[in-house]
Structures are given as C-alpha cells and as structure tokens.
Amino acid sequence: MGYSKHKIYWFCQITGWSLVIMVEWFAFWLDDGYDPDSVYLAMANILLGISLTHSYRHIIRRWNWVRLPFVQLAPRVLLSVVVLAAIMTFVNLPFDRALYPELFVDEPIVLFGYIMSWGKTMLAWVLSYTVYHYVERTRDAEIEKLLLRSSVRETEAKVLRSQLNPHFVFNALNSIRALVHEDPTKAQQGITQLSNILRNSLLADRRKTVELREEIKTVEDYLALEKVRYEERLTSRIDLDMRSLYWQVPPMMLQTLVENAIKHGVQKAMGGGFVEVTSWLETHERDQDRLHIRIRNTGVLGDKKASGGFGLENTAQRLDLLYGSPASFNIVQEQANIVCAEIVIPNQSEGLFRKSDKEQLLRVIK
Amino acid sequence: MQMRTLIIDDERLARNELRRLLENFPKIDIIGEAANADEALPMIDELQPDLLFLDIQMPGKNGFELLQAIEGKAPDVVFTTAYDEYAIKAFEFNALDYLLKPIELNRLSEAIHRVEEELQHHSTESARPTTTEPGNRILGENDQVFVKDGEKCWFVKLGKVRLFESMGNYVRLYFDDQKPLVLKSLNALEDRLDAATFFRANRKHIINLAWIEKIEPWFSGGLLVTLRGGDKIEISRRQAIRFKDLLSL
C-alpha cells in the first residue's frame, strides 16, 4: 500500500503542477502569442513548484506537523504558504521583468499581485496535502481501534476468568492452621477443599466454560471453608435442577457471586446470614432453553463500590463477551435484608464469542 | 512490665490461633476477647488495655471505626488482616503496625517488642501521671488518639497537636502539616483535655500552650497569640483574664 501511495503522490505532483502552470501559460499564449522563452519559464516553474513543495513535504514530515492540533497547525501553514509564494515570486519576477518590461509599471502592487497569485497555488497545494493526511489518519486510527478492541477482548476475557479472592484464601489458611490443634480431621478436609478451589481457579484461565456440576463442586468446597470460619453465622442451601447439571457455564462465575454474597452480605450482618443457590431451565424465544441461576443471600445492596462493584461488573462483562444479548445478569434488593442475583445463560450453540466485531473489522479493512 | 492485651476478631478460630501464638510471650497478659466493636468498646472502657490486636474486617463497625469510637486515650494497636490492599497501603503510609494472617511468629515478636518500647518510653516520659480510672480520663500531651479522615489515618500524640478548631459538628486538628477533621464537638473535647496544657482561647479554638511563640495585646482587652507554625489565634477578653491567671503574667 505504501508503494501505491508513492505513485499517487508523484502522479498528483506532476499532473497538478503541469496543469496549473500550463493553463496559465496557455492563457498567456492566447493573450500575447507564442514565445519560446515563456515555454522555458513555464517548464522551469513546473520543476521549481514540484521541488519546492517536495522539500516542504519533507519538512512537514520531519517535524510531524500533521499531528499538530489545528490551533498550532494553521499559523504554520499560513507562514509556509507566504514563504513558498515569496520564493516563487522572487524567482519569477526578475525573469518576467527582463522578458516583458512593458507589463511592469513599477509599483509595489505588482509584487503583491505575484505573491497573492503564487500564494493561491501554494495554499491549494498545502491544503490538499493536509486534508488528505487528516482523512488518512482518522481512517488508520479507526482500524487500529477495532483491532485493539478485539485483541483486548481476548486478553480481557482471559484475565476476567480467574479472580480468586486473596482475602478468602489467607483467612481460610489461618482457620485451617487453627484447626490443626483443635480438630485435625477438619483441618485435613479444609486443606483438600482449599486445594480444589485453587486448582479450579487456575484452570479457569484455560477453559472458556465448564459443566455446572463442576462449578457447583467448587462452590460447595468454598462454602464448607467459609462455614469453618463463620461457624453458626453462615447457613447455606443449594438446590439444582438435575437437567442443568450438564449445562456449560463460565468457570468461577458462580463462585465469584457466592463469594460476593458472603463478603458483602453475610459477613457484614451482625448475626450472620444465609446463602441460597437455585437453578432451573426455561424455554425462551425460538424454543431455545436457557439456564437460570439464582443466588439469594442476607445483605444490603449499598452503593456499587461497597457491594463488590468489581466482581459484579466482571460477571456482566464476561457474560456479554461470551454470549452477547441472550445472556443477562441482574441483582436487586429483594427484601429489606435479602439480596437476589440472577444470571441467565443460553446454550453453547447460541454463540460463543461474538461475530459482530470481526465482521465490522473486515468491512473497514476492505 | 506486663502488657494488658485485648484480642478483637470476629472469627473464633482466628482469636484462638492468635492466643496460641501469644503464649510464647510471657509479658503479654490477655485480659479479654471480643468478636466485634459492640463487645469491644465497653471492655476497652472498663479494662483500659495497653494493647489491642485488632482485626479490620468485622461485621458492624470495622477496626478503624472502632478506634474512632474510643472515648479518650487510644491504646497501642496492632492491626491484623488477611489481605487488604488499601489498608496495607494506609498502614505503611502512616507507619501503623499490622500483621498478615496467618501470622508469622517472628513478625509477631517484632511487633510486640515495638509496643514494649513504646510503652516504656511513655512511662518514663510522663511528668504528670494521667489517671486511668474510668470516668476521670483526662488526656494529656503524652496520650495518643486515633484520627481518621477519609483514607488517611494517624495515631497522634496530643502534644503534637497545636490547635483545635471547631467546624460545626466537627473539630479540625492541626499537627505537623496535617489538618484532619474528627466527628466530635469542641466542648466535648475541652472536657477531655488537660486544662494545664490545652486552653480554650475563644468559641472556636483550643490552643496547646506549649506551642505559643508570641503574645500581643489585642482589641478590647483581648490578646493575639501566635503559635509555632504561624497560626494566629485571638483570645477573647473574658478568656484573656483566665489566660493571664493561668500563665501568671
């Protein structure tokens, strides 16, 4: 593409300048008749015009003027137009005076006239060059943006997957350490449960979805560990539709929601609280079944930040990235002290990784 | 020298674990345990511990809020946390002592030695003993209070506070180059502060007499006092009479 840009540039330069100069010479020829000197002068002007503007182009590129904001660019452009016009004038004026003295009445207006006339040509040149580059830059920026967005999405999706809460991990380890003396068997179970959770969290990075029954196992291990910490302050209940167990769900998503439920809900409640997870299937439009998972827990939805803003945003983002509009995530204050979150996940075939971005990108490149 | 210690953490296992570790330090005398701020505050009031091991994340008031709610002198505190990015930054910034759970024995040992030094320093420094009976807790220049304003928090020795300024329901403390706000009324503070060091200059200000640099006569029989650091405070005429008496001018 760089090659053809080069060709376009030279084509424009040669034809442009030739046209401008020759039209003027032609008008002169019609007016005053043929004069070989004027042809040489015209040729020289074409060459001069091309070389001047070519060198000007070098200067622009070297100092990166095209990147400047309008306020800074405009005065520079005007100044250069004046300079270029002046150069053309000071070259042409003595020749013209020597060749056609009769046309000259010695007045400064002649000089001014020359500068204006060359100025117009130079201005046209500079403007077209600048505009062309502005347009090109915008287009380039758009393409880059789209490319970036789709590569960012891939990385984002990866990062969003594993969000194990360090607070939980260290508190769990602390509790297990305490149990080593108090109840060694429980300590052993705790270590197994924690290692399961860690393993799933690491694997979450590699897989886009997992079966719901695997995800629920992580949640159960997690709840077991939290029960060790909170003891009677935490009760839980898991109620899943048998058919939903084999549904594909994003890894660590349910886990994150349950974590939030405890971190921002149950933990903050003075007497403790409960967490309840339910799942069922519902038929939506076009006979497509979708998975519904509901998490109810003790708690109060404060402002976004307090209620684990990041975990919730993460969920909504991931669902959007993976499934687009058929998936959804909602969280409300069901009662004074009970929060209810619900996610809806379509079947795998309803679209993994949105096609729309890639289509848009291809259209622009073409 | 025994250090009377209180353990405050909402998890029973965490409290047990810390208790177990503290058995390694005969100078630590565990006088009680609390599972939250509501349990802890009356215990602190009544037992007047020297040291608190304080968990930050608790239901109800968190660790910082508990400290702010302590009326009167704040004991030495070692915070405990499993992992709290922001808190850790705050601690490091303000040189507050904290321990990460699960707690390492040698880190605990270092923290306890630091507290020991602090307490010894206190007892040799105080020229005037500040009474520790409940109900008569006057705060002198060697007592420290916990101050939190937004994200920043400090343990400040009252001796470093040169000026208290009333701002409606709040009071602004002036120390070093900080000016945090605390939710207390100036009158309530005045009751708590040692009158020999802290003087109510006018309706809006209490000044630390040790920070006075210059005294000049002012309008209507009042005085203009300049504190080290540049603040100029007017003493009303009525207070000026008491002021002169106090300094026996």
Listing DSSP states for A29-93 in one string gives HHHH---HHHHHHHHHHHHHHHHHHHHHHHHHHHTTGGGS-HHHHHHHHHHHHHHHHHHHHHHHH
Rounded to a whole number of angstroms, the distance from the CA of B19 to the nearest CA of chain A is 10
Q: Between chains, do B13 and A169 touch, taking CB under 8 Å as contact?
A: no
Q: Looking at the complex, does the CB of residue B101 fall below 8 Å from at least one CB of chain A?
A: yes
CA geometry: angle A230, A233, A235, nearest 5 deg: 100
H/E element holding B217? strand B212-217
Distance CA A102, CA A90 (A): 19
Residue B221: left if φ>0, alpha if ψ -120 to 50, beta else—which one?
left
pLDDT on residue B13? 94
Domain that holds residue A34: 2-158
Comparing alpha-carbon positions, the chain A residue that sits nearest to B16 is A178
Question: What is the total count of domains within chain A?
Answer: 2
Comparing alpha-carbon positions, the chain B residue that sits nearest to A266 is B59
Q: Looking at the complex, does the CB of residue B95 fall below 8 Å from at least one CB of chain A?
A: no
Tokens of A188: 């052993």
Rounded to a whole number of angstroms, the distance from the CA of B80 to the nearest CA of chain A is 11
pLDDT on residue B154? 83
Q: Given a cut of 80, is residue A49 above it in pLDDT?
A: yes
pLDDT on residue A339? 92
The strand pairing partners of B205, in sequence order, are: B165
Tokens of A173: 């380890």
Q: By C-alpha distance, which of B159, B137, B122, B155 is closest to B3?
A: B122
pLDDT on residue A162? 55
- Tokens 């400064």 identify what position? A108
pLDDT on residue B161? 93
Instruction: Say yes or no: A96 and A231 in one domain.
Output: no
Q: Which of B7, B9, B13 to mutate to test the interface with A (most CBs of A within 10 A)?
A: B13
Q: Between chains, do B59 and A269 touch, taking CB under 8 Å as contact?
A: yes
Tokens of B240: 């000026």
pLDDT on residue B30? 96
pLDDT on residue A144? 81
List, for residues A94-119, the tens digit of each pLDDT value.
877 777 776 666 666 777 887 888 88
Taking an 8 Å Cβ-Cβ cutoff, which residues of chain A contact chain B?
Answer: 166-171, 173-175, 177-179, 181-182, 228-231, 267-270
Instruction: Say yes or no: A108 and A184 in one domain.
Output: no
pLDDT on residue A352? 46
Q: How many CB atoms lie under 10 A from the CB of residue B71?
A: 13
Confidence at A361, pLDDT banded by 50, 70, 90: low
Instruction: Say yes or no: A169 and A141 in one domain.
Output: no
Query: For residue B197, what are the contacts with CB-CB under 8 A and spacing of at least 6?
Result: B140, B141, B158, B159, B208, B209, B210
pLDDT on residue B195? 86
Provide mean pLDDT across the span A55-64.
84
Provide mean pLDDT across the span A161-181.
85
Domain's final residue, options A113, A128, A158: A158
pLDDT on residue A303? 59
Q: Which of A175, A228, A263 to mutate to test the interface with B (most CBs of B within 10 A)?
A: A175
Confidence at A292, pLDDT banded by 50, 70, 90: very high
Torsion A214-A219-A223-A229 (CA) sign: positive
Residue A364 resides in a domain? no
Residue B130 DSSP one-character state: P
Rounded to a whole number of angstroms, the distance from the CA of A181 to the nearest CA of chain B is 9
Q: Between chains, do A171 and B20 touch, taking CB under 8 Å as contact?
A: no
pLDDT on residue A279? 94
Domain B156-247 has CATH 2.40.50.140: no
Contacts 24+ apart (CB under 8 A), A30-37: A35/A99, A37/A99
Q: Between chains, do A167 and B57 touch, taking CB under 8 Å as contact?
A: yes
ipTM exceeding 0.90?
no
Domain spans of chain B?
3-125, 156-247
Question: At A221, which amino acid appears?
Answer: D
List, for residues A293-346, the tens digit of each pLDDT value.
999 999 988 755 554 555 677 788 888 878 888 889 999 999 989 999 999 998
Residue A363 resides in a domain? no
Rounded to a whole number of angstroms, the distance from the CA of A328 to the nearest CA of chain B is 31
Comparing alpha-carbon positions, the chain B residue that sits nearest to A271 is B59
Judged by average pLDDT, the poorest of A12-16, A123-127, A157-161, B3-7 is A157-161
Instruction: Say yes or no: A126 and A173 in one domain.
Output: no
- Give the CA distances from residue B28 to residues A73, A148, B6, B45, in Å, rounded to whole numbers and listed in that order: 73, 59, 10, 19
Instruction: Say yes or no: A209 and A339 in one domain.
Output: yes
Q: Given a cut of 70, is residue A364 above it in pLDDT?
A: no
Provide mean pLDDT across the span A81-93.
86
Contacts 24+ apart (CB under 8 A), A2-5: none
Q: By C-alpha distance, which of A229, A227, A344, A231 is closest to A284?
A: A344
Domain's final residue, options A130, A158, A186: A158
Question: At A269, which amino acid appears?
Answer: A
Q: By C-alpha distance, which of B91, B99, B98, B97 is closest to B153?
A: B91
Instruction: Say yes or no: A187 and A334 in one domain.
Output: yes
Contact of B213 with B206, CB cutoff 8 Å: no
Domain's final residue, options A139, A158, A177: A158
Judged by average pLDDT, the poorest of A57-71, A210-224, A227-241, B189-203 is A57-71
pLDDT on residue A349? 60
Judged by average pLDDT, the poorest of A152-156, A261-265, A313-317, B33-37 is A152-156
Q: How many CB atoms lie under 10 A from the CB of residue B193?
A: 22
Percent of residues, chain A, with pLDDT higher than 90 = 25
- Tokens 């939250």 identify what position? B36
Q: Supply the angle between the helices A166-182 and A212-230 in degrees, to the nearest 10.
A: 60
Residue A365 resides in a domain? no
Chain A contact set for B57 (CB, 8 A): 167, 267
Q: Which residue has the higher pLDDT, B36 or A63?
A: B36
Q: Given a cut of 90, is residue A258 above it in pLDDT?
A: yes
- Tokens 């040692």 identify what position? B194
Q: Between chains, do B11 and A171 touch, taking CB under 8 Å as contact?
A: yes
Q: How many CB atoms lie under 10 A from the CB of residue A142?
A: 12
Contact of B41 with B72, CB cutoff 8 Å: no
Q: Between chains, do B83 and A167 touch, taking CB under 8 Å as contact?
A: yes
Q: By C-alpha distance, which of B64, B80, B27 is closest to B150?
A: B64
- Tokens 């002290």 identify what position? A337
Predicted TM-score (pTM) of the model is: 0.61
Query: For residue A289, what are the contacts with CB-CB under 8 A and spacing of at least 6?
Result: A281, A282, A283, A347
Q: Between chains, do B101 and A228 touch, taking CB under 8 Å as contact?
A: no
Torsion A254-A255-A258-A260 (CA) sign: negative
Rounded to a whole number of angstroms, the distance from the CA of A125 to the nearest CA of chain B is 58
Instruction: Say yes or no: A215 and A145 in one domain.
Output: no
Query: For residue A1, what are the contacts with CB-CB under 8 A and spacing of at least 6?
Result: none
Instruction: Say yes or no: A84 and A116 in one domain.
Output: yes
Residue B203 DSSP one-character state: S
Regions of chain B short of the pLDDT cut 70 = 85-95, 122-137, 249
Q: Given a cut of 90, is residue A235 above it in pLDDT?
A: yes
Confidence at A351, pLDDT banded by 50, 70, 90: very low
Judged by average pLDDT, the poorest of A160-169, A215-224, A273-282, A290-299 is A160-169
Residue A366 resides in a domain? no
Q: Between chains, do A270 and B12 touch, taking CB under 8 Å as contact?
A: no
Instruction: Say yes or no: A70 and A147 in one domain.
Output: yes
Distance CA A222, CA B92 (A): 31
Residue A361 resides in a domain? no
pLDDT on residue A321? 79
CA geometry: angle A167, A168, A169, nearest 5 deg: 95
Q: Between chains, do B13 and A269 touch, taking CB under 8 Å as contact?
A: no
Tell how strand B76-81 and strand B51-55 pair up. Answer: parallel
Q: By C-alpha distance, which of B140, B146, B143, B53 is closest to B100?
A: B53
pLDDT on residue B86? 63
Instruction: Say yes or no: A97 and A154 in one domain.
Output: yes
Q: Given a cut of 90, is residue A179 above it in pLDDT?
A: yes
Q: In CATH, which superfamily holds the domain spanning B3-125?
A: Response regulator (3.40.50.2300)
pLDDT on residue A78? 86
* Average pLDDT taken over every residue of chain A: 82
Distance CA A159, CA A162 (A): 6
- Give the CA distances from residue B175 to residues A155, A282, B143, in Å, rounded to whole numbers and listed in that order: 48, 64, 14
Judged by average pLDDT, the poorest of A9-13, A348-352, B24-28 is A348-352
pLDDT on residue B72? 72
Instruction: Say yes or no: A197 and A115 in one domain.
Output: no
Instruction: Say yes or no: A140 and A172 in one domain.
Output: no
- Give the CA distances from residue A145 to residues A139, A151, B183, B221, in Å, rounded to whole numbers and listed in that order: 10, 10, 49, 73
Residue A225 resides in a domain? yes
Q: Between chains, do B16 and A178 touch, taking CB under 8 Å as contact?
A: yes
Distance CA B153, CA B93 (A): 9
Q: How many interface pairs between A and B have CB atoms less than 8 angstroms apart? A: 57
